[in-house]
Amino acid sequence: MRTARVTLKDIAKECGCSANTVSRALRGDSRLADSTRTQICETARNMGYVPNYMATSLRSGKSRMIAVIVNDLHNQHYCDLVNRMDQELRERNYNLMILCKQLDESLAEVLIHKAISLSVDGILYFPGVGQGHYLEYMRLNHMPFVLLDRRVSDTEADTVRCDDEQGGYLAGAHLADLGHRKFLFLSGVARSSSQIDRLNGFLRALRDRDIPEENVRIVEGEVVEEALEKHNTWELLQPMDYTAIVSFRDEVAYPVMIDLREHGINIPKDISIISFDNLHRENPTRPYLTSIYTTDSSIADLGVKMLLERIEDPSLPPRNVILPVQIFEGGTTGPAAR
């Protein structure tokens, strides 16, 4: 039994020719006789030969591999984006490598180093707050990259994200204009710029309508994530001294909706709920939910486009694309209950 991978030399020995002839045949060199190319290619296939693309990339300087460093693959929002990016890259003859932080930002540096060490051609990166120093690793190694779905303060880099501050404002204005005056805000983790921007936009909408900030009970994102992991989101909702819930993301809003309905609370007659991401759009089996969103494919498509342009021309000035957002009316918000 073989204990090492099949090499060009192994195929050459089997075919009675040189390794260089094998290499030319596998590249489809038309200067070789058709019968020679056919024999070598069939032999390589029968022997289970797989090209060593790492060696090829060292010779060419291109791996045709793009790394995406993502926060959490349990979150359907990220899965939808990664799936779209994979489709876009395949159409352009690139492969996608997925590296996941598992909500542990201490892994960010490790994964950036890993991607660089594997000689990828570029990195699509979902950053956390205060990670500007990590970006320097990519710059110092002349690694093209694009920041996705989040912003990093005090740094200039190619970025594609939605307008989270405006999204928060739309949520606040929508609920306030329905007569709501007391709110529960289920936050995202503090290391997310989206959490900061969505909350700021929400509070700004309330200020514009003379609703005091004291009318909002804010649950920290780390507390929300722990409750979600323990399947105990009901405790987050106590005491129920509000008429509307704002959830940082749909992945939290859905179990909250289940809790409310299991306890006989009508949505939206008794309590309204609004969230972000509109996961129903990509997965129609999900229940309807009023949600703020931008077109996910726009973030993925633009991110891939910008990265490939950066690979082609590293001298391009940094570009910052902020996509508009809108409300999907899923029927979970209504006039404030008396």
The structure tokens 């489809």 sit at 28
Task: Give pLDDT tens digits for 31-49.
Answer: 988 899 999 999 988 988 8
CA distances from 104 to 107, 110, 123, 233, 277 (A): 6, 11, 18, 22, 22
Strands (E) in the chain, as ranges, are 65-70, 95-100, 122-125, 145-148, 159-162, 183-186, 216-219, 244-247, 272-276, 291-293, 320-323, 326-328
CATH 1.10.260.40 domain position(s) in the chain? 8-51
CATH 3.40.50.2300 domain position(s) in the chain? 63-162+295-324, 164-294
pLDDT of residue 1: 52
How far does Cα 13 stand from its chain's mean position?
A: 47
> Other C-beta atoms within 10 Å of 114: how many?
15
Q: Which CATH architecture group holds 164-294?
A: 3-Layer(aba) Sandwich (3.40)
Q: Which pair of tokens denotes residue 253?
A: 């809003």
Task: Give pLDDT tens digits for 276-312.
Answer: 999 888 788 889 999 999 876 789 999 999 999 999 9
CATH 3.40.50.2300 fits 63-162+295-324, yes or no: yes
CATH number for the 8-51 domain, one of 1.10.260.40, 3.40.1740.10, 1.10.10.60, 3.40.50.300? 1.10.260.40
pLDDT of residue 102: 82
Question: Could you report the average pLDDT of every consecutive run of 10 residues in the chain (338 residues)?
Answer: 76 90 86 90 88 60 87 85 94 93 84 91 87 83 93 87 96 98 94 92 98 97 92 94 96 95 96 94 88 85 96 94 95 91
